[in-house]
C-alpha cells in the first residue's frame, strides 16, 4: 500500500479512470448477452488499477503495447470510448474499422499498438519501438503490458534479454492475475517470484500491489523516470486479480468462490474510493456525479456504435497492402 | 502504386562481381541513402554474416547500424516490426529459412496482419532477408525451400532474386515498400558471378529470361539457372523454350505466364519446394484457370522429392530438381 497521500487530484483521476473501465465493461457484458458484441471478449474487471495507474504517468509521446485483455489499457490511454465501442460492434467507425474487435484495438495517433492476441507476441514489438526511439535519439518510453502467463513463452525471455542487452527504454508491465486462462501460476511456472526471474536478465524489477492504483502510479512513475534517465528496461510485477472469468466462454471451474470473494474485498475501485473518503478527499455525492458522467459517456458510445455504418463488403480486402498513391 | 525502382548501379559495379557482393552493395547503398536503414541479425557484424554477405559493413557503419543480435529469431524479427512502426527502415537478416520458423509468429501474426487488423493504421516497412534452398550438403535443417509457404500469406511481398541484377537491385525498392517484404536468397547463388548490367529493378513483375515458341519453362531463385540450362539443351534438339523467372512470388504476377502459355501451349514448372501444396501447384492452377483451352498438353512439374533434404551428396542431388529431369519433362510435354 502506498502511504503518501499528496495529490487528491491524481487520485480522483485514477478513480474516475478505473470506474470508466469498470462501467464500460459491465455494459459490454450486457451487450454481449444481447449479441451486439461477439467473438472472444476478455474482461479486465478487478484489474483496473494497473491500467489506470501505469497510463497515468505516460506522456502522449510514449507508446503502449497491449494484449487481448486491453479495453482498460485503451480507455486509460485516452482512446475515445465511442471508437472502442464501435469496434466491439464491428462497425466502420471502430478504431480498427471493424477488422479487429475486442482483442485488436489500435490507435496509431495515440501510439497505442494493440491489441495482441498471441500471448507474448507484443513483447518483441515493444522492444522494436524502443529500439527506434534509441536510434532516433528520442526520450520516450514504451510500456508493454502482458500477463504472467506470457512469462512461460520463449518470447518473454528473448525480449527481456534483448532489451536489457541494448539498455532499451521499455517498461515491462506484467499483470500477474494468477491464472493463465485456467492454469494457476504455480501449476505452470517453476519459479513464481516473477520479479526475481526478470532480474535474472539484469533488469530492475520489483513487485507492486496491483489492486492499489496509487501504488501502481507511484511505481510506474519511478520506473519511467529511471528509464528516461537511461537506466534501461524495468519490470513491474503488478499483483492483481480478475473478478470475472477468463473470457465469456469460461465456466471458471479452476478457482474457488471463496478465493474470488477474498480478492473482491480488495476491489481497486471501492478501496480507493473508501480511502479517499476517509481522508476527506471524496464524498458520496462526488461518486454519484462521477458515475452519472460515466454512464452518460457510455450511453453516447453505445448510441454512436448503434448508428455507425458497417464497413462495405467491397472493402473487405483493403489494408492487406498499403494504399500507395504514386 | 509507386514505381518501386532502384537507382542505376554505380560505375564500379561494371566489373565482374559475385551475387554475394551484389547483395552487400545493395545494403551499403541503402545505408548511405537513408539513415533510417539498419541491418540486424545473427552474426551480421563481427563475424561478417553467416554467408559473408555483410563482411566489412560493421567497420563501415558501426555497431548501431550493423547490429549483432542474440540467437532470438522471434525477438529480433519482432523488434524489426516494432522499429519499422517507430519510423526506422530495418533490414533483418535470418540465417536460413529453416530458422525463420522460430519467428513465424512475428512474421505471420504481426508483420503480415497488423495493417489489416488495425484498419489501415499500422504499416510495417520492414525487409527480412534470408537464405533458402539446398545443394550444399547441409542436410534437413538448413536446406529447405519454404518460400512457397510464405507466399501463401496475404500482407507479405515475397521476392526471389535469381540474377545479379535482382540481387543488387531488389533491396532498395523493397525498403521503399510500405509493407513487409521477405527476400529469399538461394544459398547456391552467393558464389555465382558475372558482369552486372546496371539499371532499375522493379519488384512487381515476373521476367522473361529467354524467348522461345515451343514451351514455357517457369522457375525462380535457385532453379532459374537449371531451367536456363535445360532450355539450352532443348534448343540443341530444336525445341525453343520461353523461360520465365517468377521473381515475385507474392503478389504473384501471372500475366506473363498466361501470355507465354497462350503462345507456346505447353508448360513445365520447376520448384525447389515440395510438390504437394507448393508454389508450383499455385502456378499450375493459375494456368488452368486462365489458359486451360490454350494448353496442348498437361502441365508438368519438376519439384523436390517429398523427403527432408538428406546430407549425402548423391541423395541430395537425387532429391532436387535437376537439368535432366527438366529436359525430360519438357520432352514429354512436347511429345504428348
CATH 3.40.50.920 domain extents, chain B: 207-335
Asked if A121 lies within 8 A of B106 by C-beta distance, the reply is: yes
Strand ranges for A91-203 from DSSP E: 112-116, 142-147, 170-176, 179-180, 183-184
Name residues 60-79 of chain B within 8 A of A (Cβ): 64, 69-70, 72, 74-79
Distance of CA B299 to the CA centre of its chain: 23
Q: What angle do CA A137, A141, A144 make, to 5 degrees?
A: 135
Nearest-Cα distance to chain B for A279, in Å, is 43
pLDDT number for residue B25:
97
Out of B21, B25, B29, B73, pick the active-site residue.
B73
Cα B117 from Cα A95, distance rounded (Å): 10
- Give the pLDDT confidence score for residue B1 in this predicted structure: 36
In the structure grid, which three cell numbers stand for residue B149, read together? 509457404
Nearest residue in chain A measured CA to CA from B178 = A322
* Sequence ranges of chain B with CATH classification 3.40.50.970: 11-195
Measured between CA atoms, the residue of chain B closest to residue A90 is B119
Question: Who among B86, B109, B119 is closest to A118 (CB)?
Answer: B109
Please list the pLDDT of chain B residue by residue as tens digits (336 residues): 344 444 544 555 468 999 999 999 999 999 999 999 999 999 999 999 999 999 999 999 999 999 999 999 999 999 999 999 999 999 999 999 999 999 999 999 999 999 999 999 999 999 999 999 999 999 999 999 999 999 999 999 999 999 999 999 999 999 999 999 999 999 999 999 999 998 889 999 999 999 999 999 999 999 999 999 999 999 999 999 999 999 999 999 999 999 999 999 999 999 999 999 999 999 999 999 999 999 999 999 999 999 999 999 999 999 999 999 999 999 999 998
Q: Which tens digits make up the pLDDT trace of A56-104? A: 999 999 999 999 999 999 999 999 999 999 999 999 999 999 999 999 9
**Is there a contact between A128 and B80 if contact means CB atoms under 8 Å apart?**
yes
Contacts of A225 (CB under 8 A, 6+ apart): none
Strand order in the sheet with A63-67: A112-116, A63-67, A142-147, A170-176, A234-239, A204-209
Q: Which residues pair with A65 in a beta bridge?
A: A144
How distant, in Å, are the alpha carbons of A131, A135, A153, A227, A234 from that of A169?
8, 11, 21, 5, 8
Q: What percent of chain B has pLDDT over 90?
A: 94
Nearest by CB to residue A113, choosing from B85, B105, B106, is B85
* Residue of A66, A157, A160, A321 to mutate for B, most B C-beta atoms under 10 A: A321
- The mean pLDDT of A8-28, rounded to a whole number, is 97
Contact A135 B83 (CB under 8 A): yes
Q: Give residue A325's pLDDT.
A: 58
Other CB atoms within a 10 A radius of the CB of residue B1 amount to: 11
Cell of B160: 526471389
* DSSP 8-state symbol, B298: -
A204/B51 Cα distance (integer angstroms)? 37
Concerning whether B176 is annotated as a catalytic residue, the answer is no
Sign of CA dihedral B190, B192, B198, B204: negative
Mutate to test the interface with B, among A115, A124, A154, A164 (most CBs of B within 10 A): A124
- pLDDT of the residue at B232: 98
Q: How many other C-beta atoms can be found within 10 angstroms of the C-beta atom of residue A13?
A: 15
Those residues whose C-beta lies under 8 Å from the C-beta of residue A105, and which sit 6 or more positions away, are A66, A70, A71, A74, A79, A84, A87, A95, A96, A112, A114, A115
Side-chain-side CA neighbours of residue B130 (13 Å): 26
Q: Measured between beta carbons, which residues in chain B are less than 8 angstroms from residue A107? A: 121
Q: What is the pLDDT of residues A246-304, one digit of tens each?
A: 888 888 999 999 999 999 999 999 999 999 999 999 999 999 999 999 999 999 999 99
Cβ–Cβ gap B81/A128 under 8 Å:
yes
The dihedral region occupied by B287, where left means phi > 0, alpha psi between -120 and 50, and beta the remainder, is alpha
Q: Which domains are present in chain A?
A: 8-310 (3.40.50.970)
Q: What is the DSSP string of A258-272?
A: HHHHHHHTT-HHHHH
Q: Chain A within 8 Å of B180 (Cβ-Cβ)?
A: no
For A254, other C-beta atoms within 10 Å of its C-beta total 14
C-alpha–C-alpha distance, residues A52 and A136, integer Å:
29
* Backbone torsions φ then ψ of A142, nearest 5 degrees: -110, 120
Q: B207-335 belongs to which CATH class?
A: alpha beta
Q: Are strands A179-180 and B241-245 parallel, antiparallel or unpaired?
A: unpaired
Examine the residue annotation and report whether B165 is marked as an active-site residue of this protein: no
C-alpha grid cell, residue A93:
467507425
**Cβ atoms of residues A47 and A210 within 8 Å:** yes
In the predicted model, what is the mean pLDDT of chain A? 95
Right CATH number for B11-195 from 3.40.50.970, 3.90.550.10, 1.10.3080.10, 3.30.360.10? 3.40.50.970
Give alpha helix (H) positions in chain B: 19-33, 57-61, 73-85, 97-100, 104, 114-117, 147-150, 164-169, 171-176, 224-236, 255-264, 279-291, 313-319, 323-335
Catalytic residue among B142, B186, B225, B265: B142
pLDDT above 70 covers what percent of chain A? Answer: 98
Query: B179 contacts in A (CB within 8 Å)?
Result: 321-322
pLDDT at A1: 42
Q: What is the dihedral of CA A214, A115, A168, B61, to 10 degrees?
A: -160
3-state secondary structure of B61: helix
Nearest one of A185, A241, A182 to A209, comparing CA atoms: A241
Amino acid at each position: 500500500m502506498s502511504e503518501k497521500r499528496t495529490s487528491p487530484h491524481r487520485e480522483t483521476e485514477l478513480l474516475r479512470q478505473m470506474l470508466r473501465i469498470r462501467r464500460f465493461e459491465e455494459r459490454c457484458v450486457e451487450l454481449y448477452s444481447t449479441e451486439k458484441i461477439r467473438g472472444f471478449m476478455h474482461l479486465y474487471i478487478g484489474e483496473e488499477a494497473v491500467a489506470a495507474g501505469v497510463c497515468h504517468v505516460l506522456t502522449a509521446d510514449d507508446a503502449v503495447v497491449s494484449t487481448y485483455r486491453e479495453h482498460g489499457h485503451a480507455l486509460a490511454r485516452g482512446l475515445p470510448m465511442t471508437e472502442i465501442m464501435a469496434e466491439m460492434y464491428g462497425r466502420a467507425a471502430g478504431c480498427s474499422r471493424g477488422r479487429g474487435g475486442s482483442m485488436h484495438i489500435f490507435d496509431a495517433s495515440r501510439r497505442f499498438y494493440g491489441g495482441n492476441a498471441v500471448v507474448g507476441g507484443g513483447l518483441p514489438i515493444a522492444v522494436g519501438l524502443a529500439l527506434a526511439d534509441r536510434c532516433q535519439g528520442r526520450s520516450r518510453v514504451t510500456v508493454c503490458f502482458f500477463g504472467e502467463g506470457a512469462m512461460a513463452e520463449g518470447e518473454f525471455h528473448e525480449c527481456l534479454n534483448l532489451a536489457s542487452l541494448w539498455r532499451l527504454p521499455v517498461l515491462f508491465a506484467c499483470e500477474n492475475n494468477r491464472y493463465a486462462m485456467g492454469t494457476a501460476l504455480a501449476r505452470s511456472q517453476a519459479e513464481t517470484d516473477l520479479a526475481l526471474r526478470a532480474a535474472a536478465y539484469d533488469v530492475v524489477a520489483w513487485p507492486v500491489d496491483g489492486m492499489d492504483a496509487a501504488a501502481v502510479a507511484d511505481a510506474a512513475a519511478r520506473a519511467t523516470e529511471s528509464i528516461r534517465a537511461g537506466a534501461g528496461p524495468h519490470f513491474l510485477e503488478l499483483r492483481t486479480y480478475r473478478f470475472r472469468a477468463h473470457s465469456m466462454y469460461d465456466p471458471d471451474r479452476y478457482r474457488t468462490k471463496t478465493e474470488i470473494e477474498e480478492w473482491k474485498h480488495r476491489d481497486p475501485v471501492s478501496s480507493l474510493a473508501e480511502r479517499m473518503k476517509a481522508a476527506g478527499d471524496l464524498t458520496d455525492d462526488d461518486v454519484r456525479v462521477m458515475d452519472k458522467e460515466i454512464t452518460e459517456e457510455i450511453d453516447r458510445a453505445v448510441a454512436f456504435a448503434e448508428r455507425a455504418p458497417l464497413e462495405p463488403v467491397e472493402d473487405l480486402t483493403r489494408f492487406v497492402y498499403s494504399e500507395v498513391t504514386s | 502504386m509507386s514505381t518501386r525502382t532502384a537507382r542505376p548501379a554505380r560505375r564500379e559495379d561494371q566489373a565482374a562481381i559475385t551475387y554475394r557482393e551484389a547483395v552487400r552493395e545493395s545494403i551499403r547503398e541503402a545505408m548511405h541513402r537513408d539513415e533510417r536503414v539498419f541491418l540486424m541479425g545473427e552474426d551480421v557484424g563481427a563475424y561478417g554474416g553467416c554467408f559473408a554477405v555483410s563482411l566489412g559493413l560493421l567497420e563501415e557503419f558501426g555497431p548501431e547500424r550493423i547490429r549483432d543480435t542474440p540467437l532470438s529469431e522471434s525477438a529480433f524479427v519482432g523488434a524489426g516490426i516494432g522499429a519499422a512502426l517507430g519510423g526506422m527502415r530495418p533490414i533483418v537478416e535470418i540465417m536460413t529459412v529453416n530458422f525463420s520458423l522460430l519467428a513465424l509468429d512475428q512474421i505471420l501474426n504481426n508483420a503480415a496482419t497488423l495493417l489489416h487488423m488495425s484498419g489501415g493504421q499500422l504499416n510495417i516497412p520492414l525487409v527480412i532477408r534470408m537464405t533458402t534452398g539446398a545443394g550444399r550438403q547441409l542436410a534437413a535443417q538448413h536446406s529447405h525451400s519454404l518460400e512457397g509457404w510464405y507466399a501463401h500469406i496475404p500482407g507479405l511481398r515475397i521476392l526471389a532474386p535469381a540474377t545479379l541484377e535482382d540481387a543488387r537491385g531488389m533491396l532498395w525498392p523493397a525498403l521503399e515498400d510500405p509493407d513487409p517484404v521477405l527476400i529469399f536468397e538461394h544459398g547456391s547463388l552467393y558464389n555465382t558471378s558475372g558482369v552486372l548490367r546496371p539499371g532499375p529493378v522493379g519488384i512487381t513483375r515476373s521476367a522473361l529470361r529467354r524467348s522461345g515458341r515451343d514451351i514455357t519453362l517457369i522457375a525462380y531463385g535457385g532453379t532459374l539457372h537449371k531451367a536456363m540450362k535445360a532450355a539450352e539443351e532443348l534448343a540443341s534438339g530444336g525445341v525453343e523454350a520461353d523461360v520465365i523467372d517468377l521473381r515475385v512470388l507474392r503478389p504473384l504476377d501471372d500475366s506473363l505466364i498466361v501470355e507465354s502459355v497462350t503462345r507456346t501451349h505447353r508448360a513445365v514448372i520447376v520448384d525447389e519446394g515440395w510438390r504437394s501444396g507448393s508454389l508450383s501447384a499455385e502456378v499450375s492452377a493459375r494456368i488452368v484457370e486462365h489458359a486451360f483451352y490454350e494448353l496442348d498438353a498437361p502441365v508438368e512439374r519438376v519439384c523436390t522429392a517429398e523427403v527432408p533434404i538428406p546430407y549425402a551428396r548423391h541423395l541430395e542431388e537425387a532429391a532436387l530438381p535437376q537439368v535432366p529431369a527438366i529436359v525430360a519433362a519438357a520432352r514429354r510435354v512436347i511429345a504428348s
